[in-house]
Amino acid sequence: MLSTDNDKPANIDFKSVARALTIVENDLAGADELLKSLSFNKTTPIIGITGPPGAGKSTLVNSLISHLLNDNHKIAVLAVDPSSPFNFGSLLGDRIRMAPHFNHPDVFIRSLATRGSLGGLSAKTIEMTDVLRAAGFDYLLIETVGVGQSEIEIAGLADITLLVLVPESGDEIQNIKSGLMEIADGFIINKADRADADLFTNNLKKIILQKDGHQPPVFKTVALQDVGITDVINFIVSASHLQNTRKELLLSEKAYKLIQYKRMTSVDKKELRQAIAKALTEPEFNLYNFIESYF
């Protein structure tokens, strides 16, 4: 998929990368062999960008791409959109919001659905991330759907996790602070030109202050106006060179997801729904009896 030298920019065949992703995403013939043959000749930092809906994650990613391109980097973006629990469809609209870079020769953008994973990270997300890592990009940005504490799954995939919030996120902080607050490497208060942004930032700093006195950085940005993005870029660049102290956690979380997926491949959600619909017509329906008989 690529020809690269650690001292030179990677020469990446985007078409080959796209074909490989399609094979892996859809479990086409040769997918397992492709994944087993992946080799990682270059250290590609994986930047996880997560947060509640409406925080401006896609706009922020768009700004980050612009800055990273200034240093002639090759950037890959994996944008995860939520799947509908009713028709299993997904809008996959991130490419629209990242339109300024969609046709840039040094930017590769791929959207995919969560495939029912509440935290936005399905086994396919993990596999496709590894395909992109093997391709030799300089940076890989993963934007995940924001759904609260289950966003902690991003810790199993990203080297650097950034939580994007807005000044109105007070209630959401209370919901997720027991999980994601502990694993986020940095916090971004986007749309910081809104009222009470300073008050919210100060309150956030108090919440995330750790017992040892360490406090992850908090950045204020207005992504739509490219304000504050340089500080975030500097943090990403500096942090990406640090040794990852969570390697065992990252690999165990990834392995868990992949094993879970392998064991559940025989369960089709649409068929399960049809079976449930039929079972509901029977008197004295019991979900636990149904589950036992279904397997």
Q: Which two tokens stand for residue 40?
A: 């990682």
Residue 90 sits in the same domain as residue 234: yes
- The verdict on 117 and 221 lying in the same domain is yes
Strand pairing category for 2-5 and 8-12: antiparallel
Q: Could you tell me the residue range of the domain that residue 122 belongs to?
A: 2-264
pLDDT at 16: 96
pLDDT at 118 over 50: no
Whether 222 shows a pLDDT value over 90: the answer reads yes
Residue 174 pLDDT grade (very low, low, confident, very high; cuts 50, 70, 90): low
Question: Are 38 and 133 in the same domain?
Answer: yes
Lowest mean pLDDT among 53-62, 189-198, 228-237, 248-257: 248-257
How confident is residue 189, by pLDDT bands cut at 50, 70 and 90? very high
Total structural domains within the chain: 2
Question: Letter for the amino acid at 86?
Answer: F
pLDDT surpasses 90 at 38: yes
- Find residue 269's DSSP bridge partners: none
Residue 95: predicted pLDDT: 53
List C-alpha distances in Å: 23 to 27, 30, 156: 6, 7, 23
Residue 247 has pLDDT above 90, yes or no: no
pLDDT tens for each residue of 54-98: 888 989 999 999 999 998 899 999 988 765 444 444 444 555 556
Residue 122: strand, helix, or coil: coil
Quick one: 286 and 166 in the same domain? no
Q: What is the DSSP string of 243-274?
A: PPTTHHHHHHHHHHHHHHHHHHTT--HHHHHH
Q: Are residues 192 and 112 in the same domain?
A: yes
- 35 and 170: one domain? yes
Report CA-CA distances (Å) from 155 to 16, 97, 187.
28, 25, 14
Distance (Å, whole) CA 128 – CA 47? 14
Residues 49 and 14 in one domain: yes
How high is the mean pLDDT of the chain?
81
Of all helices (H) and strands (E), which one includes residue 71? none
* pLDDT band per the 50, 70, 90 thresholds, residue 269: confident
- Reply yes or no on whether the pLDDT at 116 is more than 60: no
Q: Does 198 lie in the same domain as 81?
A: yes
Q: Residue 257: pLDDT band by 50, 70, 90 thresholds?
A: confident
Residues 152 and 228 in one domain: yes
Question: What is the reported pLDDT for 84?
Answer: 46
pLDDT bin (cut points 50, 70, 90) of residue 2 is very low
- On whether the CB atoms of residues 109 and 100 are closer than 8 A, the answer is no
pLDDT of residue 87: 42
- Residue 141 pLDDT class (50, 70, 90 cuts): very high
239 pLDDT tier (thresholds 50, 70, 90): confident
Question: 59 with 93, same domain?
Answer: yes
Letter string b/e over residues 199-209, b meaning 16 or more CB atoms within 10 A of that residue's CB: ebbeebeeebe
* Per-residue confidence (pLDDT) for residue 146, from 0 to 100: 60
Q: Please tell me whether the overall predicted TM-score, pTM, comes out greater than 0.75 for this model.
A: yes
Average pLDDT for 153-166: 82
Per-residue pLDDT, 3: 43
CATH number of the domain to which 201 belongs = 3.40.50.300
What pLDDT score was predicted for residue 123?
A: 80
Are 259 and 272 in the same domain? Answer: no
Do residues 90 and 185 share a domain? yes
